[in-house]
Structure 1
Amino acid sequence: MRHTLPLAPQFYVTAPQPCPYLPRRMERKLFTALQGDTAETLNDSLSKQGFRRSQNVLYRPACADCTACLSARIRVADFQPTRSQRKAQNRNADLKRQASSPWATEEQYTLFRRYLDSRHADGGMADMDIFEFAAMIEETPVRSRVVEYTAEPAIGGRHRPLAAVCLTDILDDGLSMVYSFYEPERTKRSVGTHVILDHVEIAREAGLPYVYLGYWVPGSPKMGYKSNFSALEIYKNDCWQDIGSPTAHDGETHPLSVAPIAEQVARINLPDSRPTHD
């Protein structure tokens, strides 16, 4: 009799390329495929260990001489907005939230292009066409939602224009903000902050304990804003811990902080994918 054993995820490492966050550094990623009946379980498990999803891939930075990218999440129960964050909520009080299945639209892509051209014109997504954008939104093997924020219509109009969009995964312990973008003209209203605050409220209403924000990078102006949120935890030394003082993590850019790839993979806890029997 032939027995089929469950296959453990296979991990791979990308070739080095220039780091988008810190100058004069190279990045590489450790990644594995996200597919099949165990996709959601694997996404839940590895998200708790600092991984992020991009379409049907889970990845985590595995750079040769730096560990500065630290996965960050907000503890919903302990979160308290700052005065400036409350002001951001008030400035965006006109926005209306609507969550739907992950489906890309031309209006989303138009907003996405304006956002990239304004804020990330030299980034890795700068050349993304509408088909690649649709793949980013729609190719998901896990529970995902597109959360749209629409503004008040123009005088005499009925259409509520898009102000912000967030692709969000629903994990067993929280919401993972996979990617968000917004109307550049609303930058002074801190609409990006509003989207994060609103996800904290969504998680609170759903009884989920965390909102995953992606990577916080000490010394990176692009990613530094995440440390402005209270009750922030980072995944460091194989465990979640309170961020404390942001400046205390500057040493993560030292080459000696990096463990060999084989050791990194060996320390990953994989979910039990064996079938259960009654």
Structure 2
Amino acid sequence: LTRSQKRALKDCKRVELRISRPEYSIEKFKMYLDHKNRFDSLQDDVEDDENFRLSFYTKTPFGIEFEYYLDGKLIGVALADVTRKTFSAIYTFYTTAYSHLSLGTFSILKQIEFCRSRGIPYFYMGYFIAKNQSLAYKANFRPNEVYINHEWRPFRNAAGDFLIPGDHLQWVNCDTLVKATSTR
């Protein structure tokens, strides 16, 4: 673990995790808007309650929700899809008043722990855009891979060395560069 990951675990020692099927609430929608407003450059189509429900709370057989509570109060949510072999992190959002806890990092660590405890070998972290402040932290989970030109390639090794030069990580649109971390 990196220092920041160890710090996130320490800072979130009192955070309670509840795992269940995704369940919509207006409280979660308001939390999502609060979280989204933290990042000026974060643009998406989810501007209203209906689109939020359609984007994140449509019933699927693979959906799972991680809820994070502090002193009985919901402070964060992570949504994902899970199969026997893969875990795909969809989106994590939290109340900005608790951003000092590094809930994004904490959530990834808890999701990896979930995968390991169930023997799920592949953990997909979703989009990685180095210049996007809300996504850049994902590069700190290693070893990891990026999907480039229809194949998975090592991106950073366990020591943190970049295996693909930065100039090879240029893309035309956000859909052509994604990233995953193995849970093994």
Give the TM-score of the pair, scaled to structure 1: 0.55
Cα distance, 1:141–1:191 mapped onto 2, change above 3 Å: closer
- What is the CA-CA distance between 1:219 and the residue it aligns to? 4.2
The alignment partner of 1:241 has SS state of strand
Matched residue, 2:159? none
Q: Quick one: which of 94, 98, 108 aligns to 1:196?
A: 108
Q: What is the distance in 1 between the residues matched to 2:96 and 2:151? A: 36
CA contact (8 A) 2:78 2:93 kept: yes
Task: Give TM-score scaled by structure 2 length.
Answer: 0.81
Q: Deviations over 1:33-71 (max 9, x none)?
A: xxxxxxxxxxxxxxxxxxxxxxxxxxxxxxxxxxxxxxx
User: Any idea what SS the aligned residue of 2:37 has?
Assistant: helix
Aligned counterpart, 1:206: 118
Matched, 1:181 2:101: no
Q: Distance in 1 between matches of 2:153 and 2:89?
A: 20
Q: Secondary structure at the match of 1:243?
A: strand
Q: State the match for 2:81 in structure 1.
A: 169
State the 1:98 CA deviation: 0.9
The 3-state SS of whatever aligns with 2:98 is helix
Q: Is the 8 A contact 2:35 2:96 kept in 1?
A: yes
Q: 1:195 to 1:101 in 2, by over 3 A?
A: same
Higher relative contact order (CA 8 A, sep 6+): 1
Letter in 2 for 1:147: F
1:197 is paired with a residue whose SS is helix
CA distance in 2: counterparts of 1:100 and 1:165, whole angstroms: 11
Provide, for residues 69-97 of structure 1, a one-character-per-residue CA deviation record: whole Å limited to 9, x for no partner. xxxxxxxxxxxx21221111110111111
Q: State the 1:148 CA deviation.
A: 0.6
Q: C-alpha displacement at 1:177, in angstroms? A: 0.7
Alignment of 1:97-246 (within 5 A): 97-120=17-40, 123-125=43-45, 128-152=47-71, 160-244=72-156, 245=162
What residue identity is the alignment partner of 1:189?
L
**Cα distance in structure 2, aligned partners of 1:188 and 1:90:** 12
Match of 2:170 in 1: 253
Deviation (angstroms), 1:169:
0.3
Question: How many Å apart are 1:141 and its aligned residue?
Answer: 3.4
Structure 2 alignment gaps of length 5 or more: 157-161, 177-184
Q: 2 CA distance for matches of 1:148 and 1:243?
A: 30
Report runs of 4+ in structure 1 exceeding 3 Å deviation: 218-222
- Distance (whole Å) between structure 2 residues aligned to residue 111 and residue 98 of structure 1: 17
Flag the 1:230–1:122 CA change in 2: closer, same or farther, 3 A. Answer: closer
SS in 2 for 1:217: coil
Aligned length: 169
| SS of residue paired to 1:150 | strand
Note the aligned Cα RMSD (angstroms): 2.4
Provide the identity percentage: 25
Structure 2 distance, partners of 1:176, 1:207, is 14
2:90·2:126 contact (CA, 8 Å) conserved in 1? yes
| Structure of higher CA gyration radius | 1
